[in-house]
Amino acid sequence: MKSHPASPTGIGLRQPHYARVLEERPHIGFVEVHSENFFHDGGAALRTLERARGCYPVSLHGVGLALASVDARSEAHVERLAKLVERVEPEFVSEHLCWGAVDGVHFNDLLPFPYTGEALALVAARVNALQDRLRRPVLIENLSAYVQFRDAQMSEAQFLADLVCLTGCGLLLDLNNLYVNARNFGSDPMDALEQLPMHAVREIHLAGHAVTEYGLIDTHGSAVCDDVWSLLAAVRRRGVCAPALIEWDTDLPELDVLLAEAARADRIGAVADESNGDRHVCAA
């Protein structure tokens, strides 16, 4: 048995980079797009995604399902996602641990909720129904939350660990979100890492954040910070070989900047793998 480095890092594919990525086909592990931006019957964007799918594995990252909304009315949304999944045959399908809609109004944002038994039952039922419809496991991402609820009965990490047990879903571990929350709420990000089931991590998100008067805000608009790179190394030391993804949505830089970040993530994966005394064997 031999071990090998983590799967190669991917990048979030955004419109200003479509042409260069398709022409130059840089050496990246996969590309990720927001699912909702391709909920179309046809047109240029969908054509571009299908061309990208010819060059790379694709990850469909949802931002609109709002799984924890009590009043979600999301059946049509799930059907559009199912159609896209059928069309693209993605490597991953992911969504966020959040709510977003109530009483017919959708806030189109990733909103936090109290981590309670009631919420866990609801989200588990939604994730199970989603996986049944898509006939595949989905990945659920930990959230960057700026507020916490008094009535929370568990941590987000415990909630996600239970969700994995109840549904068999995978985790999309966003290390920037983990870091932002820990800094904003005065906790140690390593504590959250200890509570999360590392065996369920299928993808890792890396992104930058902004420092504001209200604390750190998850903007996806800057380079990955040193502390988050350290968290990646810590995750690799725990034997997680799931691929990382460079997420950059606002103030989008030249493609080369994203590729450099992806290369850096690849180096951390390889180094950690070799330096790990207790080598973890990843399934090919």
Binding site for another protein (CB under 8 A): 36-37, 39-47, 63-66, 68-71, 74, 77, 80, 99-109, 111, 113-114, 116, 118-119, 122, 146-152, 185, 212-214, 217
Instruction: Write out the two tokens for 11.
Output: 């990048």
Nearer to another protein, 107 or 279 (CB): 107
Nearer to another protein, 66 or 200 (CB): 66
Identify which of 197, 269, 277, 195 has the alpha carbon closest to the alpha carbon of residue 232: 269
φ, ψ of residue 60 to 5 degrees: the values are -95, 115
Instruction: Write out the two tokens for 135.
Output: 């006939």
In the complex, the smallest distance separating the C-beta of residue 174 from another protein, rounded to whole angstroms, is 17
Nearer to another protein, 65 or 245 (CB): 65
In the complex, the smallest distance separating the C-beta of residue 77 from another protein, rounded to whole angstroms, is 5
* Burial class of residue 274 in the structure, from the number of CB atoms within 10 Å of its CB (0-12 exposed, 13-18 middle, 19+ buried): exposed
Nearer to another protein, 70 or 281 (CB): 70
Nearer to another protein, 17 or 77 (CB): 77
CB 261 within 8 A of CB 246: yes
In the complex, the smallest distance separating the C-beta of residue 147 from another protein, rounded to whole angstroms, is 5
Nearer to another protein, 93 or 241 (CB): 93
CB 225 within 8 A of CB 175: no
In the complex, the smallest distance separating the C-beta of residue 243 from another protein, rounded to whole angstroms, is 26
CB 30 within 8 A of CB 243: yes
φ, ψ of residue 254 to 5 degrees: the values are -60, 150
The 10 Å Cβ neighbour count of residue 175 is: 25
In the complex, the smallest distance separating the C-beta of residue 44 from another protein, rounded to whole angstroms, is 4
In the complex, the smallest distance separating the C-beta of residue 91 from another protein, rounded to whole angstroms, is 22
